[in-house]
């Protein structure tokens, strides 16, 4: 993986939250990421150039499962409308992704997107979606979101195994809330502020170690050379050091792991193009 190129690409997507970066002509590739903590929509052009991105904090999912259908529908619809206004055209199709082990809820995720006006043309697992950006052939991608920790084992570019466990950023917030004696919302605000990370990391470190042990128990470290992290919870400063110490193999972490999966979902909206001429990450 070309980490420098990946970081530069992610930075472009970050900029697209404030400014439309590419002409919205031709086919558009849209990724809708229904997360436990955030809902994100990323729009790319057919060559994978970032066009625009919108996100909003949400509490409409729990452990990857929609628990507030109307709330999820409303947020997706509003983000879609905002993007359409920004780029000046309608968004009609999208791809979505599911945490592994939540396949029984796929129809609900599809219904959320469809009720907001999308046609869902692709459904992926989250770690595999992330690999559209990482483009690794061998290794393990670990996606730690708000409610789940998922991993995908890759061999020669193929997914050999996908695993998901119900632990993520929400659990870090719950530990902070109890330890500090503050409401969940306040603990979440404290966690999201990077200036607090050094102070709070000793409190949440045991939970991070548990996440790392889950990953270690699901992989063969004799056959795995590198772990690649992504997901919003991986924005916690120092998390990669804990994983490397617990698992015992090198760990790669991009500058903003939060956007990796939403970007990968969008890249897979027209999958038959994505693997040939479309990708611009390393060009």
User: CA gyration radius for the chain?
Assistant: 18
Using CA atoms, how far apart are residues 201 and 69, in angstroms rounded to an integer?
34
By percentage, how much of the chain surpasses pLDDT 70? 93
Looking at per-residue confidence, does 205 or 59 come out higher? 205
Integer distance in angstroms from the first to the last C-alpha of the chain?
13
User: What is the band of 118 on the pLDDT scale with cuts at 50, 70, 90?
Assistant: very high
pLDDT 10s digits, 222-274: 888 899 999 999 999 999 999 999 999 999 999 999 999 999 999 999 744 44
Beta bridge partners of 54: 41
Q: What are phi and psi of 133, to 5 degrees?
A: -90, -45
Given the DSSP bridges, would you call strands 119-125 and 93-98 parallel, antiparallel or unpaired? parallel
Mean pLDDT across the chain:
89
Number of CB atoms found within 10 A of residue 255's CB: 14
Beta bridge partners of 14: none
Give every strand in the sheet of 158-165, ordered side by side.
Answer: 158-165, 149-155, 139-144, 227-230, 251-252
Looking at per-residue confidence, does 148 or 271 come out higher? 148
User: What is the band of 221 on the pLDDT scale with cuts at 50, 70, 90?
Assistant: confident
Question: At a CB cut-off of 8 Å and minimum separation 6, what does 275 contact?
Answer: none
Using CA atoms, how far apart are residues 78 and 210, in angstroms rounded to an integer?
37
Number of CB atoms found within 10 A of residue 57's CB: 12
User: What is the band of 103 on the pLDDT scale with cuts at 50, 70, 90?
Assistant: low
Question: At a CB cut-off of 8 Å and minimum separation 6, what does 94 contact?
Answer: 30, 31, 32, 41, 113, 118, 119, 120, 121, 269
């Amino acid at each position: 993986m070309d980490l420098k190129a990946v970081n530069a690409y992610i930075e472009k997507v970050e900029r697209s939250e404030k400014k439309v970066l590419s002409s919205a002509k031709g086919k558009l590739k849209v990724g809708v990421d229904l997360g436990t903590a955030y809902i994100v929509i990323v729009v790319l052009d057919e060559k994978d150039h970032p066009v625009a991105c919108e996100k909003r904090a949400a509490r409409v999912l729990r452990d990857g499962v929609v628990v507030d259908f109307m709330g999820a529908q409303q947020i997706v619809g509003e983000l879609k409308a905002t993007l359409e206004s920004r780029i000046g055209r309608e968004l009609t199709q999208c791809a979505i992704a599911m945490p592994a082990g939540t396949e029984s809820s796929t129809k609900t995720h599809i219904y959320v997107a469809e009720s907001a006006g999308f046609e869902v043309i692709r459904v992926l697992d989250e770690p595999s979606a992330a690999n559209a950006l990482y483009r690794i052939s061998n290794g393990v991608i670990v996606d730690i979101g708000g409610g789940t920790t998922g991993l995908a084992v890759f061999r020669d570019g193929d997914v050999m195994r996908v695993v998901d466990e119900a632990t993520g950023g929400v659990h870090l917030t719950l530990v902070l809330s109890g330890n500090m004696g503050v409401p969940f919302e306040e603990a979440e605000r404290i966690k999201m502020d990077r200036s607090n990370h050094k102070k709070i990391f000793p409190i949440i470190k045991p939970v991070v170690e548990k996440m790392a042990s889950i990953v270690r128990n699901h992989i063969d470290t004799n056959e795995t050379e590198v772990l690649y992290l992504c997901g919003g919870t991986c924005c916690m400063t120092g998390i990669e050091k804990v994983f490397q110490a617990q698992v015992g193999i090198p760990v790669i972490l991009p500058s903003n792991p939060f956007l990796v999966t939403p970007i990968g979902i969008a890249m897979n909206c027209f999958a038959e193009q994505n693997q040939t001429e479309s990708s611009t990450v390393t060009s």
